[in-house]
Amino acid sequence: MTLLKRSALVAAVVGGLTLALAAPAAAHVTVNPNTATPGGYTKVTFRVPNEKDSADTTKLEVTLPADQPIASVSVKPVPGWTAVAVKSKLATPIKSHDSEITEAVSKITWTADATSAIKPGQFQEFDVSLGPLPDSGQMVFKALQTYSDGEIVRWIDEPSTDGTEPDHPAPVLKIAAPAAAVPAAAPSSSSDNDGPDAFGIAGLVAGLLALILALLAFQRTSRKPASPAASAPVSAEKVPAAKG
């Protein structure tokens, strides 16, 4: 087996193992992106894969946390799906743009028509605009995924404290301030630049080329066969002694 074929085989095996290991962790309902800026507005996408081989996903229910009411919630239409946002009365009104909000969206339900359910091996995305977001912490969106065979998968497990992922994790949106930008380093002048300049690099390249050409010429010369005259043995002859 050639080196190229061996490399291709190794790459295929590694890629297959990577997908096999990653599939179980990515096969649940997620929210993307999973981080948002405190106090701002954002668009999140609930991604719903179909985990079953013999049934379609026909409905998704997402519950917004009751202790973190959002004043503005809007849903982007998805062809073939009907979205219904349910509002609930708030125990404590919240203010938004100098107005008092007494009710907020508590649950969103998407239901597929007869031809738009999520087939096995496929996924669907549902976009929601939210804001203003809480000032810190995280938002846990508990989700129910309904299949055409009547099974309901409850993605409601909250994040564990030890960092391990639960069996049916709920989508989690972390509220975190963006990282501060690192200022770019000022360009150094040519007078205090200790690195090699263009002339030094050009000289180094020229020297390397000359060395390579010399080596090639030496190899060609060493491979030339010796001429017959040069290879013939030299016979020893007596030289007459000089007369005094």
The CATH number of the domain where 129 resides is what? 2.60.40.2230
Order the strands of the 99-112 sheet from edge to edge: 81-96, 99-112, 57-63, 142-147, 152-155
With bands split at pLDDT 50, 70 and 90, how would you rate the model's confidence at 19?
Answer: very low
Q: How many CB atoms lie within 10 A of CB 133?
A: 20
Residue 215 has pLDDT above 80, yes or no: no
- DSSP bridge partners of 32: 45
In percent, how much of the chain has pLDDT > 70?
Answer: 64
Please indicate, yes or no, if residue 241 is contained in any of the structural domains: no
With bands split at pLDDT 50, 70 and 90, how would you rate the model's confidence at 83?
Answer: very high
Residue 6 has pLDDT above 60, yes or no: no
Residue 27 has pLDDT above 70, yes or no: yes
Mean pLDDT rounded to a whole number for the chain: 79
The alpha carbon torsion through 113, 119, 122, 128 (nearest 10 deg) reads 20
Of 6-20, 149-163, 170-184, 201-215, which range is least confident? 6-20
Please indicate, yes or no, if residue 2 is contained in any of the structural domains: no
Please indicate, yes or no, if residue 99 is contained in any of the structural domains: yes
96 vs 1, residue with greater confidence = 96
Please indicate, yes or no, if residue 159 is contained in any of the structural domains: yes
What CA–CA distance (Å, rounded) separates 161 from 154? 20
DSSP per-residue codes, 69-89: --SEEEE---TTEEEEEEEEE
Domain interval for residue 152: 26-175
Q: What is the pTM of this model?
A: 0.64
Please indicate, yes or no, if residue 87 is contained in any of the structural domains: yes
Number of structural domains (the chain) is 1
Please indicate, yes or no, if residue 135 is contained in any of the structural domains: yes
